[in-house]
Amino acid sequence: MPSTRVTIRVKPGASRTQVGGEHAGALVVAVREHAVEGRATEAALDAVATALGVRRRDVRLVAGANRRTKVVELAGPDALDAEVMRLRSAGRIEA
């Protein structure tokens, strides 16, 4: 099954959930939840799935559980849709 890895930078405690922008080569994911008991990480994974148009179960955390910079993996048949290809060409997703 094809998969793609994306480096994200989570900004917990934002006024609204939003995916977009760049921080040191990582895709910025702002979430309303605070970094308590993994809530911000889960919200970030949900936001990435929604923004890229993939199912939540196709987005999994690979590295950075306790850090703001994380690596997530997109798997499944929907992982390589047009948005993912656009992010890859912009250099924001590692193959």
pTM, entire model: 0.80
Q: Which domains does the chain have, with CATH numbers?
A: 3-94 (3.30.1200.10)
Q: What is the pLDDT of residue 59?
A: 92
Q: What is the pLDDT of residue 20?
A: 86
Exposure string for 82-92, b = 16+ CB within 10 A, e = fewer:
eebeebeeeeb
In angstroms, rounded to a whole number, what is the distance separating the alpha carbons of residues 67 and 89?
26
Q: How many of the other CB atoms lie within 10 Å of CB of 23?
A: 15
Residues of the chain scoring pLDDT < 50: 94-95
* CA 85 vs CA 1, 30, 47, 67: distances in Å: 16, 22, 18, 26
Q: What is the pLDDT of residue 95?
A: 43
